[in-house]
Every structure is written in structure tokens, then in C-alpha cells.
A and B are shown apart, each in its own frame.
Chain A
Amino acid sequence: MAYTEEELKKELETKEYEYGFYTDIESDTFPKGLSEEIVIAISKRKEEPKWMTEWRLEAFRIWKTMKEPEWANVTYKKPDFQDIIYYSAPKKADPNKSLSDVDPELLEMYKKLGISVDEQKKLQNVAVDIVVDSVSVATTFKKTLAEKGIIFMPISEAIQEHPELVKKYIGTVVPKTDNFYAALNSAVFTDGSFCYIPKGVRCPMELSTYFRINQAGTGQFERTLLVADEGSYVSYLEGCTAPSRDENQLHAAVVELIALDDAEIKYSTVQNWYPGNKEGIGGVFNFVTKRGICEKNAKISWTQVETGSAITWKYPSCILKGDNSIGEFYSIAVTNNYQQADTGTKMIHLGKNTKSTIISKGISAGKSQNSYRGLVQIGSRAKNARNFSQCDSLLMGNECGAHTFPYIEVKNKTAQIEHEATTSKIGEDQIFYCNQRGIDTEKAIALIVNGFSKEVLNKLPMEFAVEAQKLLEISLEGSVG
């Protein structure tokens, strides 16, 4: 029987695919696309136990049945999920090596980004676990932490070294079925951090992870799992920087926080993924699922400064399950040029006397769109629940937009809910006043924006606040002509 032209083509393509697949698996980068084989290969590559492989496969099967959410106030060309590389590792990476073994070129790159992975960090009491292109290349201060019984390591290592902990908590706050991106992440996550603080331990330093997208066309799917056991405390910093590039990149992280009875977690993020150029071309798509659960008397505090990404879709949330638990959300979201952000929080009050605070500061410039979306839900058993929400928007120019979508659902009459919202504009008079005092327009805007964001900036650890302030300045550069 003769081949048809069509069949011939198909077979050639398949062959090529197979060939590409097998050769590439030997190298450090997988071929583009997603399939069960890729999921298995990722798991194998990470030398994961069988339960983890199964967990991933289940997530992949769930993901295949799901659709991308469309309710957010953002418009974009949907990513082609078969055109993404799901795993890539930088060469010479070995988490067990000391800093002096790390590729000097990588270290140089961190320096340029202002990330120091040297002894300075120790002086500043920051332990760093760096994720470059999905694989950790340097881990510091593991020892100091180990003395207190604190576990802080790449999640891939934790899966091998502490499988019982990972297995117990992973997916308990953000289940595989939660949403499209969370399911995708569950199937293909390649790295991220795991952190466990034992009972009654106060983590003596700020834990910090820097994420960065490195190789062209690589998707990033971090998974962070942070467990604060009873009566413990931890402050965790997450910062992102990404270099310029034209292609849209997908970033779909999942962060799960678990604060057991009387524990406290402070989670601070500075997000600075590449936002695209002035014309709105390129930039990272940032679809993140962050959620924490509070047991009795526990407290989770999310603080975020979002300046990057072409599209941000992100709602760090708290499930206030235990009585007297507290959830906080402090956010600054800056959009410039053609950026779109749809961000906010969900506070789910289930326990009695639970309290939540939401302070959201949106700054829009250029032709950008900035939306706050928040849900405050008071369950029927949540007696005396209280929430205070404040959403302030600052506009620069006439072409940008600020939107607030507060949703409130109350099933218990004793709830007290307060919501305040303001919108203001940077006035010419304010700028002229600053100019008159010798402050140029760029600096004047930075000053005014910093003033506007102060309540949130004040919530960040000192060192981070300074970086965040710089970032605000940089991201609004050239926003007033």
C-alpha cells in the first residue's frame, strides 16, 4: 500500500519528535510540549519516589480536563502549552557544592541583578536558596538552620530527604484540582523551596529565595511549601528578577503555607518579572496560586510588591480555619505601559473571632490596567469575625485604569466588615511643588508613590523595603513625559 503524502508527513514529524525527545533527555533541556511522558521524565530526572510520580500524573490528568480561567480583568493571547519547555537545568549545577564551586558567570549575573550570594548575606542574617531556571545552585546557612531543626531546602531535595513531611502537606492547601494553573504546576513543577519550622522555634533569620527566569522559552513552575509547626515563627522573603526578552513566558507558581496552632508566618514578595517593552511586546505571564491555612491562634501575613510581569493573576489568600486566627494582606501593585494586573486576596473566615486586614495600593501609569479583586467570606460558624479592607488607587495620566472588585459573602450575622476605597491622581501641582524644591519630576513621582505606598512598605523587612522602593522608582521611570 502506498503512503499518502499526508501520512508520510505525519510519520516524519513523529519520528523527529521521538528522536528529539530521546536526545534531549540526555542533555539538560527537555523538548517543548507536555505529555504524560514529559511528566514522568521530569519526575525521573528528579529521582522522585513513585508516589510523587503518581501525584504528578494525576495532576496532569486533571489539568487536561480543565480550561483556562477567563473571569479576570485581563486580555492576552493564551499561551500555547505545547510550545513550552517544561524542564531545563543550568549546567554545572550542584546543590552540594560550596559557593566557590559555583560557576563564576552565574555569580556575576547575580551581582548585576543586585543579588549577593556571599558572606554579606550572613552578616545581614539572610539565608539564601537560589533557584535559577528550575534548579537550585547554591544553598547557604543550612547548618545554622539545621541546629534549630529548621528544614530549608529545594523542594526536590525535600521530596527525597523528608518524604513524610512533603507527602503529609503538599496539596493540602492548594489541591491539584484547585484551578487550571495549580493543576499544571502540580504536574510539572521542577523546583521551589520547602521549609519546616519545628514546634516552638523562632526562625532566627529571614529566609529568602530569589527566582529568576534564565533560558529563552522556559516556563517556570515553582512549588513552595512552608510549614510552621505549633508556636513557631518564620519570616520568608521571595524576590524575583528577570532579564529582558521578547517572547512571552509563563510563570505559574504555587505557594502553600501551613500555620499550625499559635504559629506565625510572614511571607513577603517582591515580584519583578519582565513586564514587556513600552509597546506591550513580550513580558512574563504570571499566574500564581498562593494560599495559607491558619489553625488556632495562628497568623499569616502576606506582603507583596508587584511591579513586573505583562500579566499578573494572583490572589494570596488565607483560610482562617482555627478560632482567633488572623490573616493579613498588604499589597502594592504597579502597572505601567501595557501591563495588566488582576490581583487581590481571599480571606475565608471559618473559625470564631477570626480577623483579617486587607490593605491594597494600586498604582497605574501609561496604558495599563490595574484591578483589585478581593473576597471576604464569613462562614456560618465564624462568630465575631472581623475584616477591614482598604483599597487605594493612584493614577498617573489619563490612559490607565484602576478597578476594584470587592466581593463580600457573610453567613454569620455577628460579622463586622469595613471597606474603604479611594482613587487619587498625582497632581501637576504636587509635581510642580516638588520641582520647585529642587526635586525633578521622576524623583517627585517616586516620592509621591512611596508616600502613597508607605503603609505597605512599612510591613516589609527593612532590607527588602529599600529594594522595593528602588523597584517602584525603576518601574515608573518615564511614565510621565
Chain B
Amino acid sequence: MLKIKNLHASVEDKEILRGINLEIKAGEVHAIMGPNGSGKSTLAAIIAGKEEFEITKGAVLLEGEDLEDLAPEERAHKGIFLSFQYPVEIPGVSVTNFIKTAINETRKGRGQEDMPANKMLKLLREKGELLEIDRKFLSRSLNEGFSGGEKKRMEIFQMAMLEPKLAILDETDSGLDIDALRIVANGVNKLRNKDNAIIVITHYQRLLEYIVPDFVHVLHNGKIVKSGGKELALELEEKGYDWLKQETVS
């Protein structure tokens, strides 16, 4: 589904990603871990199409198509979803209105009609229940005054509503309390199927106990320095990153 080939990227002449190779197939879950500042969010933003980063070498392909010339919204229409590490606030725009706009603009981008209002309502109700979202949130301004955990839950709610092909969850677990983590992870698991794929960026093994990855990659200094199965996450939890950092130097 997603293929990243020797990706180099920089911002203001500072190289952040230095040759990333990664292949993700439909139905898979990949976890990306790595120290602060290693380039995880940058990688996520580049896949989503943030323009401030410049791809200096390599390519990102979605189902064989080079994404380089696609605007962020076109990538979204193709089914890419990013759960932001720091979701932004949009004052005065209700959660419902925002989601409605997102769904209908995406449908328009795909040449489909608007979603009928009753279908939208039904979907809101269903997914709201799945993620145990209090109805009062639907009429509040998007993320305005939401707690850190509430913002993250709202991101996954949007994911559930948009049903993306490829979802990237950037530290969705940070800020969630124990119960919320379970609810959110549970929600994500329900959305998993053989046709979609998920990239989970996290610092903690705990999330991966709920959302069990097929592969774990360690990003350091803009490169994937180690890949493995779900055990790798446990090993990292135990040993930290120093041993890997040393390995790369050598």
C-alpha cells in the first residue's frame, strides 16, 4: 500500500530525514518508535503532504502512485489520515460541522455526492458510541478548550468517521488516561481490516499491548536503525535507545 524509497527530506536546508525505506502492506500495523527529535512527526507530515518540508531525494508511493505532486487534501481524498501529535483548535467551528465538511469535501474529491444528513447522523452516533464520546462534544468548537486527552480522542473519532485507507497515529497515546487509552485503542482495533493499514508512532510499549503491531521500527537521526517484530518494543522499553544509537555510530 505505502512504499517509502530512500526518502531524504529537509527544512530550511537542515536535513531531517536521511534515507528512509519502508514498505507497508494492506492489513498491516507498523509501529515507529525513536527518541525525541528523531524525525517521526516529520515523516508523518511528509506522507500527509506538508509543504514546508522539501523532499531532496527518494519518493513516497501510495498504491504505486508517487505522492509528490499531490496536495495534502488530495492525499486525504486518497485515504491518508493523520492523527496529529498536536491537534489544532478551530474556534467557532463545531465538531459536527467540521466532520461534515471533511466528509463531504472528501466525497466531492472522489466524485461522490454529499453524504445524506440522516446517514451522517447515524454514523456520528455509531462512532461516537464506539469511542464513548459525550454528545455535548459534537456541538463544541473543534478542540477549543479540550483537554489533551480529549483532543486525541477527537482525532480518532474523526478517523473513525473518515475510514481512511492509511492512518498515521502520531503519539495518540500521549495525554490519554488509562481508561481512555483502552477505549481509543479498542476503537482503532475495530477499524482494522485487511484493506487498510496503520502506522502507530509512540514512545510507549503500553499502547502496543492494545494495538498489536506486525512490525516495529526504530527511527534515529532520520534513519530507520532497527526493525523487528512486536518484541522489539519490549526490548526498547527495557534497554532504552542508547544501545541502538551506539550501533549506528559504529
Contacts and interface: CB of A to CB of B under 8 A. Distances in A.
Interface of A: 427-430, 432-441, 443, 447-448, 450-455
A433 B72 CA distance: 9
Given A432-B50, A432-B72, A439 B101 contact: yes
B241 to A, nearest CB: 29
Contact of A440 (B71, B90, B162): B71
Contacts of A436: 48-49, 72-73, 76, 81-82, 84
Number of chain B interface residues as a range: 20 to 34
Question: Which of B81, B84, B87, B92 counts the most chain A CB atoms within 10 A?
Answer: B92
Interface string B77-112: 100011010011011110001100111011001000
A435 B90 contact: no
Given A437-B158, A438-B102, 14 more contacts: A430-B90, A434-B102, A435-B73, A436-B84, A437-B76, A437-B106, A437-B162, A439-B101, A440-B73, A448-B93, A451-B91, A452-B92, A454-B93, A455-B92
B110 to A, nearest CB: 9
Interface of B: 48-50, 52, 71-73, 76-77, 81-82, 84, 87-88, 90-93, 97-98, 101-103, 105-106, 109, 141, 158, 162
Contacts of B49: 435-436
Contacts of A429: 88
Given A435-B71, A435-B72, A439-B73, A427 B88 contact: yes
Contact of A451 (B48, B102, B103, B141): B141
Contacts, number: 72
A421 B98 CA distance: 26
A447 B158 contact: no
Main secondary structure of the interface of A (DSSP, over half): helix
B92 A450 contact: yes
18 contacts: A430-B88, A430-B90, A433-B87, A433-B90, A434-B102, A435-B71, A436-B76, A437-B98, A437-B102, A438-B76, A438-B77, A438-B105, A440-B73, A441-B73, A447-B97, A447-B98, A450-B92, A451-B93
Given A437-B76, A439-B102, A440-B73, A454 B48 contact: no
Contact of B92 (A433, A437, A441, A453): A453
Given A440-B71, A447-B98, A433 B106 contact: no
A448 B90 contact: yes
